[in-house]
Amino acid sequence: MYLADETWPDLGAYFDEESLAIVPLGSTEQHGPHLPEGTDHMIAEALAHEAAERTGYLCTPTINVGVSPHHRQFHGTMWVDAPVFRDYVESFSRNLTYHGIDRIVYVNAHGGNVEHLQEVGRRLHETETAYAIEWMWDESIPDLVDDLFTQNGPHGGPKETAMIMHIARDLVHDDRLEDARDGGLVDMEDGDYRIHGARTFYDAADNTDNGVLGDQTDATPEKGTELFEAASDQLVKLCDWLDDQPFEDLMPEPHVHERER
């Protein structure tokens, strides 16, 4: 069920029976010369809609702009400051709880959002408002990603390229895959990410001239389909697991002093 397509009486019927919402989040940022800037939010939206269709759980509209200032040197990248993003996500999450939602799955496809979504989840958990968890699609299927790609790369690499080949084939510039590989950083071990234990970079442009990592020529639509189906399965299982948990079991443990009484 997609929230924006429904009428309020029909949504009321959902809230009478269910208390889980799926929220897709991504970014609008550079993904190299071969992928659209909407890559992350397109992946999140496609996975969230697939899970909602398969389960019947409520899916909200997609959050398209995330925490992406580390890609700012490349044309068109959009971002919001991290505190603004956290407050915004927390605010609309509390809005969902007003209607009866008490558990939320943030379907995330942008690494820059991870720690901020986890912080929002912590806030909602601490106040016993809701149980909200961040889910990153590739982290749900790490073995498959490793099996499919020799040089994956965390940004604009073959896994994201393959996923967009599956989701929006016409938006991938096949004629630029070699340029993406040759103008980026193929092997992460070749990058100077840390010196004497300190992280030495702030922006993507510090590590790669064209903004991407990995070997994009290793991507195929077939691999994208395999990734999409496997990640969707994991998301469906997560939603079903979360829906089955008693709310009180999801809330914080009491202080040890209270437990000792």
Is the Cα torsion angle 103, 67, 39, 114 positive or negative in sign?
negative
**Please, what are the domains in the chain?**
3-249 (3.40.50.10310)
The pLDDT value recorded for residue 261 is 64
Secondary structure of the chain: what % helix, strand, coil (to 5)?
Answer: 55, 10, 35
The pLDDT value recorded for residue 209 is 92
Helix, strand or coil, per DSSP, at residue 23: strand
The pLDDT value recorded for residue 186 is 87
The whole-model pTM stands at 0.94
The pLDDT value recorded for residue 144 is 97
Is the Cα torsion angle 9, 11, 15, 16 positive or negative in sign?
positive
Query: Of 51, 63, 64, 43, which Cα lies nearest the Cα of 22?
Result: 51
- Separation of alpha carbons 66 and 86, rounded Å: 10
DSSP structure string for 135-200: EEGGGGSHHHHHHH-SS--SSSSHHHHHHHHHH-GGGS-GGGHHHHHHHSB--GGGS--EETTEE-
Residue 186 CA to its chain's centroid (Å): 23
Helix, strand or coil, per DSSP, at residue 32: coil
The pLDDT value recorded for residue 157 is 95
The pLDDT value recorded for residue 207 is 86
Helix, strand or coil, per DSSP, at residue 251: coil
- Separation of alpha carbons 29 and 188, rounded Å: 21
Per-residue pLDDT 10s for the chain (261 aa) are 999 999 999 999 999 999 999 999 999 999 999 999 999 999 999 999 999 999 999 999 999 999 999 999 999 999 999 999 999 999 999 999 999 999 999 999 999 999 999 999 999 999 999 999 999 999 999 999 999 999 888 899 999 999 999 999 999 999 999 999 999 888 867 667 778 888 888 888 888 999 999 999 999 999 999 999 999 999 999 999 999 999 999 999 888 877 666
Query: Of 54, 78, 63, which Cα lies nearest the Cα of 24?
Result: 63
The pLDDT value recorded for residue 191 is 67
CA dihedral of 172, 173, 179, 183, whole degrees rounded to 10 = -50
Q: If 0-12 CB within 10 Å is exposed, 13-18 middle and 19+ buried, where does residue 29 land?
A: buried
The pLDDT value recorded for residue 161 is 98
Count the neighbouring beta carbons within 10 Å of the beta carbon of residue 80.
17
> Which strand ranges, in their side-by-side order, compose the sheet holding 103-108?
58-59, 20-25, 103-108, 131-136
